[in-house]
C-alpha cells in the first residue's frame, strides 16, 4: 500500500474517514437520505451517538411551568450546553436566539390542555414551517393504550410521510397516562410500535427493571425522558442507568431548569452521557462546588 504522502487528496481523505469511529451509522439510520442523517448528526454527537436534549416544551399543554416562569432568563444560559432543544415554534420565535446554534427538536403535536384528555392531540405544525425554522427533527406524542391511541399513531405516521419528503426526522414520544404502568412490558410495546411505523427516534421513560430489553427491542435510538424533578444525584443515577441500559441519550427538562443550579446540573448530565462518568463523580465535580460555595 502506498505511503500516505503518495496518496491523492481524495484517497487520503477516504482513508482518514474510514479510520474515524463516527462514520458508523446511527442506529437504524443507515438507509436514510443524506439530509436525514445530517439532521440526526446535529442531535446525536457523531462520536458517541448520544445526545443531551433539554426539554422546555411543557408549556404547550400545562402553561407556565415552575422554573420557566421567566423563560428568557431560565433557558438562554443553558443553550450552549444542550446538544438539542425540545421546544415549540412559539418559543423558538419569541425566545431562542437564532445565533445560539442549538439544534431544535420541534414539538409538532398538541391541542388539549391539562384540563382535558391529553391523548386527543392533533398535528399542530406544518412540515414546511418546521423546515422554515431549520428544525433538526419534529416531535409527536404517541399515546399507546390511551383513549385516542389510533389518532395519535396516525398523527405520527402522517408526520413520518411528510418528514421523508422534506428530509426531517420524526421523534415519537411515548406518553404514559395515569392508568398505564411504566414497566418494561408496556415500554417495549410502545417503542416498538413507534419504530415499526416509521419513527426515526423514540423518547420513552426509564424503568428500573428490564430497560435494556426496551432499547434492544427498538431498531432506532431510544432517548430517556427525564420525568418529574428528582434530587440531583438521583437524576444523575437514573440517567447513568439508562445509558448503561442502551439509551442513546436523555431529554431532561425539569431536572435541569428546576434545579437550584441548572448550569452545573446540565454539565453533570453531559459528563454522565458523553463521558460515561459515574453519577457520584459527576455530582462531585460539577455540583458539589456550587453547593458548598467554593
Distance CA 175, CA 229 (A): 17
Q: How many CA atoms lie within 13 A of 260 on its CB side?
A: 8
Check: CB of residue 55 under 8 Å from CB of residue 75. Answer: no
The pairing of strands 222-225 and 137-142 is unpaired
Is 278 a catalytic site residue? no
The pairing of strands 109-110 and 122-123 is antiparallel
Q: What angle do helix axes 262-274 and 232-244 make, rounded to 10 degrees? A: 20
Q: At 31, list the grid cell.
A: 438507509
Residue that is written with C-alpha cell 405520527 in the block: 156
Q: Which of 203, 228, 229, 278 is catalytic?
A: 203
b/e sequence 221-240, b meaning 16+ C-beta within 10 Å? bbbbbbbebbebeebbbbbb
Distance CA 46, CA 54 (A): 18
Known catalytic residues are 203
Amino acid at each position: 500500500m502506498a505511503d500516505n504522502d503518495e496518496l491523492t487528496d481524495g484517497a487520503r481523505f477516504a482513508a482518514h474517514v474510514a479510520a474515524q469511529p463516527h462514520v458508523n451509522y446511527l442506529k437504524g439510520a443507515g438507509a436514510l437520505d443524506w439530509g436525514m442523517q445530517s439532521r440526526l448528526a446535529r442531535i446525536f454527537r457523531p462520536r458517541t451517538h448520544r445526545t443531551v436534549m433539554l426539554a422546555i416544551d411543557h408549556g404547550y399543554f400545562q402553561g407556565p411551568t415552575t422554573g420557566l416562569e421567566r423563560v428568557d432568563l431560565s433557558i438562554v444560559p443553558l443553550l450552549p450546553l444542550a446538544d438539542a432543544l425540545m421546544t415549540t415554534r412559539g418559543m423558538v420565535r419569541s425566545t431562542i436566539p437564532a445565533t445560539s446554534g442549538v439544534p431544535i427538536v420541534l414539538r409538532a403535536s398538541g391541542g388539549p390542555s391539562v384540563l382535558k384528555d391529553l391523548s386527543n392531540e392533533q398535528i399542530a405544525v406544518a412540515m414546511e414551517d418546521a423546515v422554515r425554522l431549520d428544525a433538526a427533527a419534529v416531535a409527536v406524542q404517541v399515546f399507546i393504550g390511551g383513549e385516542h391511541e389510533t389518532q395519535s399513531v396516525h398523527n405520527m405516521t402522517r408526520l413520518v410521510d411528510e418528514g421523508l419528503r422534506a428530509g426531517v426526522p420524526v421523534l415519537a414520544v411515548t406518553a404514559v397516562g395515569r392508568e398505564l404502568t411504566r414497566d418494561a412490558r408496556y415500554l417495549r410495546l410502545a417503542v416498538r410500535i413507534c419504530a415499526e411505523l416509521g419513527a426515526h427516534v423514540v423518547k420513552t421513560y426509564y424503568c428500573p427493571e428490564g430497560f435494556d430489553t426496551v432499547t434492544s427491542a427498538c431498531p432506532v435510538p431510544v432517548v430517556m425522558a427525564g420525568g418529574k424533578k428528582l434530587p440531583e444525584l438521583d437524576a444523575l443515577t437514573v440517567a447513568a442507568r439508562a445509558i448503561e441500559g442502551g439509551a442513546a441519550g436523555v431529554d431532561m427538562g425539569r431536572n435541569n431548569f428546576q434545579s437550584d443550579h441548572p448550569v452545573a446540573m446540565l454539565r453533570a448530565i453531559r459528563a454522565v452521557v458523553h463521558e460515561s462518568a459515574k453519577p457520584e463523580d459527576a455530582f462531585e465535580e460539577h455540583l458539589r462546588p456550587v453547593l458548598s460555595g467554593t
